């Protein structure tokens, strides 16, 4: 059996982050679960293979100092891979309860902060190649009314991905982004509820309308994203870097 490798997964308290953590725990990775809600992180940890081998750390990725102190606290020597999944969704409206800075600061700046604070640990790892996977969104490629902050934050991640892939190639750190479409998570269902309320239709009708733009007319399951992430950080993956990879049931075909 290969030596266990340490992987940091952000936003691992729910949704895609939890699914990624569960999948990786079955493949002999040692996980650091990072998020804001300690109870949710513990719930994820208790759902993993051999919960006792994994650690939870609570912090707010908007603040670099918090991330740095959190990583020091758990006393790790190096990280093999980072899965930068943490993010928030929802609408924003200029000047009226505007969430622009909250969303940009979490999704884009928070991801940048996490990667930068993790780099010393990635560079210390002795694996031939180290990995960073950024979870973006199909809305990095599409526009949605009322979601300017979310779309901008996710589009920004794709530029960050390309720049870091070039910058970190000399350190043998491969950087890639995944753009999921509709995924069966609470965030997606909250989006459907907002959509249904705005149009004054049922959630079921909102789902049917949303699927009109999806050729396969379905959501993906979180474990599909998890399995693809697992491949991107695997030892067999040594040539893909700087790429944006789409899992969206045909909703976007670049």
Quote the distance between the C-alpha of residue 215 and its chain's center: 24
Q: How far is it, in rounded angstroms, from Cα 124 to Cα 5?
A: 13
Tell me the whole-structure pTM to 2 decimals: 0.94
pLDDT per position as a tens digit, 213-245: 999 999 999 999 999 999 999 999 999 999 999
Q: Region 152-162: what's the mean pLDDT?
A: 98
Average pLDDT score, the chain: 95
Whether the CB-CB separation of 27 and 230 falls below 8 Å is answered with yes
Q: Across the beta sheet with 29-35, what order do the strands follow?
A: 55-58, 29-35, 5-10, 81-84, 130-135, 173-180, 244-247
What pLDDT shows up at residue 96?
83
pLDDT at residue number 36:
96
Confidence of residue 35 (pLDDT cuts 50, 70, 90): very high
- Determine what percent of the chain is predicted with pLDDT higher than 90: 89
- CA 25, distance to chain mean position in Å, is 17
Give yes or no for residue 1 having a pLDDT over 70.
no
Taking 50 as the threshold, does the pLDDT of residue 179 lie above it?
Answer: yes
**Tokens representing 4?**
């266990």
**What is the average pLDDT across 157-183?**
98
CB within 8 Å of 123: residues ≥ 6 apart: 130, 171, 173
């Amino acid at each position: 059996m290969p030596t266990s490798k340490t992987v940091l997964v952000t936003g691992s308290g729910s949704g895609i982050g939890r699914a990624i953590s569960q999948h990786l725990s079955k493949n002999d990775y040692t996980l650091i679960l990072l998020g804001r809600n300690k109870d949710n992180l513990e719930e994820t940890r208790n759902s993993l293979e051999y919960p006792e081998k994994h650690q939870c750390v609570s912090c707010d990725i908007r603040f670099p100092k918090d991330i740095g102190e959190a990583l020091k606290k758990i006393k790790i020597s190096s990280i093999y891979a980072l899965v930068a999944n943490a993010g928030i969704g929802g609408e924003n409206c200029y000047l009226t309860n505007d969430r622009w800075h909250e969303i940009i600061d979490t999704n884009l700046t928070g991801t940048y902060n996490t990667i930068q604070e993790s780099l010393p640990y990635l560079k210390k790892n002795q694996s031939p190649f180290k990995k960073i996977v950024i979870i973006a969104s199909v809305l990095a490629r599409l526009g949605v009314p009322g979601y300017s902050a979310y779309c901008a934050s996710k589009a920004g991640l794709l530029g960050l991905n390309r720049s870091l892939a070039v910058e970190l190639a000399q350190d043998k750190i491969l950087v890639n982004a995944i753009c999921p479409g509709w995924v069966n998570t609470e965030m997606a269902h909250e989006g459907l509820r907002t959509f249904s309320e705005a149009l004054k239709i049922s959630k079921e009708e909102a789902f049917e309308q949303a699927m009109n733009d999806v050729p396969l007319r379905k959501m993906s399951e979180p474990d599909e994203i998890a399995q693809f992430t697992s491949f991107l950080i695997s030892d067999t993956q040594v040539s893909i870097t700087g790429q944006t990879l789409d899992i969206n049931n045909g909703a976007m075909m670049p």
